[in-house]
């Protein structure tokens, strides 16, 4: 079971729009482990607004309308869009819940003034606008805005401490984080890691995100720990099949904490690639 960005029915509208506008983008799959089950139909795409020329903002706004972004998100998205040069779109199919996501990247602004920040200070790095796709279970949270804040001067020790705290009682998930930091200390002691935390108003969501793009180790290095976590969560052979199929995929980042219902989770992003979607003839 190789993670495939085309598996979910939510992906084609995004990819077709990319082809229509000949957008060069990055594509990154992920999978999520929790007591609620294994969620592997997830994808994330990112690209520069410059690819769309001078009309980027109205084109992106129109695309969000096409994807069904609710009115309670549209105005906020439109106002924030002018402040960023890099955007993203994503989706997740988790049982009967099918959710679209639109991201705005403020990292260019977040880097300003980093040198005068204290190690525990944070800066806004991303905003994520997320909504349940029309026709999905209406009992679920329909629309949320996720705020991702970067901690640019946090030490690796601080990253480790804060991430373990976010995971709460998910001890097997903590083993994955501990091993990842041990590998980095052994093989890439001087490579910078990036740390963020995410929160949403009105629910229990609180999580961390550690980016390992500066390193080059694969999921195979975390295979025993991820399999043990899967066993503890009762995820069975589906996870083992997924892990074996993607063992040589490069680790992108690890995220985890509490989801909107307060359930602990660990999420793995991997295998990021740059893709070209030429305009069809």
- Reading the chain (281 residues) residue by residue, the pLDDT tens digits are 444 544 568 999 999 999 999 899 999 999 999 999 999 999 999 999 999 999 999 999 999 999 999 999 999 999 999 999 999 999 998 878 899 999 999 987 644 434 434 445 899 999 999 999 866 455 455 899 999 999 999 999 999 999 999 999 999 999 999 999 999 999 999 999 999 999 999 999 999 999 999 999 999 999 999 999 999 999 989 999 999 999 999 999 999 999 999 999 999 999 999 887 654 43
Cα angle: 125, vertex 127, 129; to 5 degrees: 165
The answer to whether the CB of 48 falls within 8 A of the CB of 55 is no
Q: Tell how far CA 238 is from the center of its chain.
A: 21
Task: For residues 62 and 56, give the distance between their C-alpha atoms in angstroms, rounded to a whole number.
Answer: 10
Position 94 scores a pLDDT of 80
Q: What is the DSSP letter of 238?
A: H
Question: Strand 264-270 to strand 251-258: parallel, antiparallel, or no bridges (unpaired)?
Answer: antiparallel
Residues with Cβ within 8 Å of 40's Cβ and at least 6 positions away in sequence, in order, are: 1, 3, 7, 29, 31, 32, 242
Task: For residues 204 and 263, give the distance between their C-alpha atoms in angstroms, rounded to a whole number.
Answer: 9
Angle between helix 223-233 and helix 171-187 axes, rounded to 10 deg? 170
């Amino acid at each position: 079971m190789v993670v495939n960005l085309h598996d979910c029915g939510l992906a084609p509208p995004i990819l077709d729009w990319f082809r229509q506008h000949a957008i060069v983008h990055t594509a990154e799959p992920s999978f999520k482990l929790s007591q609620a089950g294994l969620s592997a139909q997830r994808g994330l795409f990112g690209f520069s607004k410059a690819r769309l020329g001078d009309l980027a903002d109205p084109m992106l706004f129109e695309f969000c309308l096409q994807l069904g972004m609710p009115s309670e998100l549209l105005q906020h998205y439109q106002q924030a869009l002018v402040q960023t040069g890099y955007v993203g779109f994503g989706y997740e199919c988790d049982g009967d819940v099918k959710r679209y996501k639109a991201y705005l990247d403020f990292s260019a602004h977040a880097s300003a003034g980093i040198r005068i920040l204290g190690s525990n200070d944070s800066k806004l790095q991303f905003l994520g606008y997320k909504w349940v796709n029309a026709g999905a279970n209406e009992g679920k949270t329909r629309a949320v805005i996720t705020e991702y804040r970067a901690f640019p001067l946090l030490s690796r020790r601080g990253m480790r401490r804060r991430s373990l705290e976010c995971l709460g009682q998910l001890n097997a998930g903590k083993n994955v984080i501990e091993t990842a930091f041990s590998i980095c200390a052994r093989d890439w002691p001087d490579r910078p890691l990036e740390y963020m935390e995410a929160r949403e108003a009105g629910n229990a969501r609180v999580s961390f995100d550690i980016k390992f793009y500066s390193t080059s180790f694969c999921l195979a290095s975390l295979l025993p720990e991820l399999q043990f976590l899967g066993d503890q969560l009762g995820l069975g052979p589906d996870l083992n099949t997924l892990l074996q199929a993607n063992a040589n995929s490069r680790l992108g980042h690890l995220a985890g904490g509490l989801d909107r219902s307060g359930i602990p989770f660990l999420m793995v992003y991997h295998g990021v690639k740059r893709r070209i979607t030429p305009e069809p003839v």
